[in-house]
Amino acid sequence: MGIQTSMDAVQSAPTIVDALRRADELAFEAGREPGVRSLRHLAAALASEDDVRALAAVHALGAMTDEEAGRMLAALLSDRRPYVREHAAWALSQGLPRLDAVGRLIAMVAAGGFSAMLAQRTLEGWSVPSGEVLAVALEAALVSTDDPAARARLVETLGLVRAPLATRPLIAIARDEAEDDAVREAAIAALGQRPGQPGVENTLDALMATTGRLASVARLALLDLVPPQPDAADAPRTIAQLFLHADMDAQLATAGAGDNGGIATLLVRLGDALVADGSGLVERVITLGRGSVDQAASDLLDVAGTRGGHRFGRVPMAPSPVPSAAAWGLRVQARRGIRRVLRAAGRVDVLHLRMADVGSLAAADVARELGIPTVFTLAPDPHSVITSLEESGQLTREGFGEADLREHYWFRARLVQSLAAGAEHTVLFPRPTLADDMKRLVGVDITTHAERHTVVAEGVDLAVVDDAVSRVAASAGTGDAPTGLAELERMLGELPPERRGLTLLVSVGRLHRVKGMASLVEAWHASALAERTNLLIIGGDLTHPSVDEREQIERIDAIVPAAERAARGLLLPGHRPNGVTALWLAAARLGLPGLAAPAGVYVCASIKEEFGIALLEAMATGLVVVAPDAGGPATYVEPGRTGFLAPTWDRERFVAAITEALAHATLDPDAVAERSHAMVAERFTIQAMAATLAPLYQAVASQDADLARLAVLPS
């Protein structure tokens, strides 16, 4: 195609998502045509006000095996635009080590943030051919800073340098009681990756004999040093799945807090359903989530000592929870924790990855190292978000760089591409135009090698929903509310008399801008809906909010001040366990005498919703729903019968859809409830999902076993 033609294609692409895909073609052409002419075209693009074009040029430079291109790329580490510096750190990972870039990459590591993760990945890749140079440079950087957070990141990076030269300073830092604990912890964890090196085991033994968190970290590091055991011939068929940004337990006690959203509920219910399935195709499920250092140690014993059932393996990533958007800097901790759990499990037949986040990034590395085949749930995320924001005018090519600096769209899109390419099989959510969407948004043609792609609908546990509905119905008018419902009754009872008995609008989910909770409050408050309904938003940690949660809370408070919430009919209780949420949804449908009218409506205000577990739970409860008109909900919401679809970013049309839903909910509520429940029962139960996935996992595991046998060379 040629460098100029490829650059023209990037510039003239009709959408940002299409331009990102054309940038791959530009990089290919740049790698094929290095030289002065190509460099001139890329230099011109770098000076452009079109951020997408400029960043495409950065990655094209990274693809060139040209000394001048390398110099230009290294120089971009000092560019005035922070997003160009960030992409330069990433693009440098494609080439050989450059001494003129090492110092600035180390400075980026020390500074922290997403850029630090990219710089660290590049340095890690360079550590094999240039380990001793990097070890000396990192030691020098440690001398120049006394900031504990910066030192911890530098020590962690030093731990990735496998050259023996790095072991001595790591031992010294681990033993230094004058050093900050976070810095010592980074050194201790790194020693667990250095088996057989002098002084490592003695150091860890001595530290484990102390007390506190460092002793627990040393214990895990010692376990990391133990060589893996060979797989037992009769090992149980084991599937591993993960989401490292949730505190997952069998009771789903923290559902809705922080990042404990629908994915956490899904994984817990799915793990239970897979092992309960009568086929016996899956004997053990290991679900990995975040947890403390002490939980991680005890979980290893449970995982290693059991041959069946649904087990949980905690991965310690930080002393306190970190939201997913800010967790990229925990890549190394995540990778070590995932490796630890999977090694303890013995044979793991398949690892299912679901999101383009730091957990999947780290887990993919571990799967390659341990030879575990992966299944990846392929969804157009962040592609759908980019498209929605561009269509609404909130994202432009000229402003893409700053947006990418916050949301990491380019990296996440490439990660989706990489995870899909590396997976033995991909799973897809149902969408009305699935094949077209995957090709248009993600660039994946699922009609080619269709046998490697399977459409799997997510599912809900109807037993929980049905139990909640029956309990609320049985308690009507008795004054004997089920456990968990009394709190909702109390909140409604504290509303002004004129607001008691109004219909409830309900939304369940994380307090995150993608979920649109603040936008929902804004649309409700600015319309006639506020006069005829009360709004109940279930989700978020209001006591210790994350950065994302705080942003949504502040937006909500600007619309309805916290002190005025009850007076205006806004109920914001925070997250509640899954069972309690089910009761509250049932109360919204059936009503609570004197407190809430029946025939409430469930509203999903997400910018994008790939599928929508909470939506399905609401429909199974019998509520009329309002959902985004793009993505998964369009495959199961029947407009005018079970719900209404609307562009959630268009306030006028969104409010109109909610108004229609309220009217529809009162026409024949029993018929609507029966229709919605029947649809979920027929198509979207967790048992049906497990029944589809179990043979898929077996096929992937069997194919991998056949490949392993074929790979054994004859003697």
Summarize pLDDT for 329-341 with one digit per residue, the tens: 999 999 999 999 9
Cα within 13 Å of Cα(100), Cβ side: 12
Q: Encode burial over 362-387: b for 16+ CB neighbours within 10 A, e otherwise.
A: bbbebbeeeebbbbbbbbbbbbbbbb
Mean pLDDT to the nearest integer, 627-651: 91
* Angular region, 199: left φ>0, alpha ψ -120 to 50, beta rest: left
* DSSP annotation of 539: -
pLDDT tens readout for residues 282-309: 999 999 999 999 999 999 989 998 889 9
Hey, what amino acid is at 530?
A
CA 145 to chain centre: 33
Of residues 145, 169, 149, the one with CA closest to residue 158? 169
Long-range contacts at 475-480 (CB < 8 A, ≥ 24 apart): 476/590, 476/593, 477/593
Which positions ≥6 away from 147 have C-beta within 8 Å? 110
Mean pLDDT to the nearest integer, 382-387: 90
* The two structure tokens encoding residue 318: 């930080």
Give the range among 182-186, 189-193, 646-650 with minimum mean pLDDT: 646-650
Of residues 424, 451, 330, 314, the one with CA closest to residue 368? 424
Residue 382 has pLDDT above 70, yes or no: yes
Instruction: Give the Cβ contact number of residue 251 at 10 Å.
Output: 11
Higher pLDDT, 438 or 481: 438
Q: Report the percent of the chain where pLDDT is more than 90.
A: 79
Of residues 499, 613, 653, 634, the one with CA closest to residue 661? 653
- Across 243-356, where does the E strand assignment appear? 284-290, 309-315, 350-353
| pLDDT band, residue 608 (cuts 50/70/90) | confident
| Sheet order of strands, 238-242 included | 309-315, 284-290, 238-242, 350-353, 374-378, 425-428, 453-455
CB 626 within 8 A of CB 661: yes
Residue 324 has pLDDT above 90, yes or no: no
Residue-level pLDDT at 685:
93
Of residues 375, 433, 441, the one with CA closest to residue 409? 441
Considering the chain, what is the average pLDDT of its residues?
92
Give the range among 221-225, 434-438, 545-549 with minimum mean pLDDT: 545-549
Residue-level pLDDT at 548:
85
Using CA atoms, how far apart are residues 157 and 173, in angstroms rounded to an integer?
Answer: 13
Mean pLDDT to the nearest integer, 518-544: 95
Mean pLDDT to the nearest integer, 411-415: 97
* The two structure tokens encoding residue 487: 């709190």
Give the range among 164-173, 244-253, 523-532 with minimum mean pLDDT: 244-253
Residue 318 has pLDDT above 90, yes or no: no
Residue-level pLDDT at 321:
75
Residue 566 has pLDDT above 90, yes or no: yes
Strand-pairing partners, residue 645, are: 627
| pLDDT band, residue 258 (cuts 50/70/90) | very low
Residue 70 has pLDDT above 50, yes or no: yes
For residue 382, cis peptide bond before it (omega within 30 degrees of 0)? yes
Residue 477 has pLDDT above 80, yes or no: no
302, burial (CB in 10 Å: exposed 0-12, middle 13-18, buried 19+): middle
Residue 256 has pLDDT above 50, yes or no: no
Residue-level pLDDT at 229:
78
pLDDT tens readout for residues 114-137: 999 999 999 999 999 999 999 999
Using CA atoms, how far apart are residues 404 and 638, in angstroms rounded to an integer?
Answer: 35
Mean pLDDT to the nearest integer, 87-101: 96
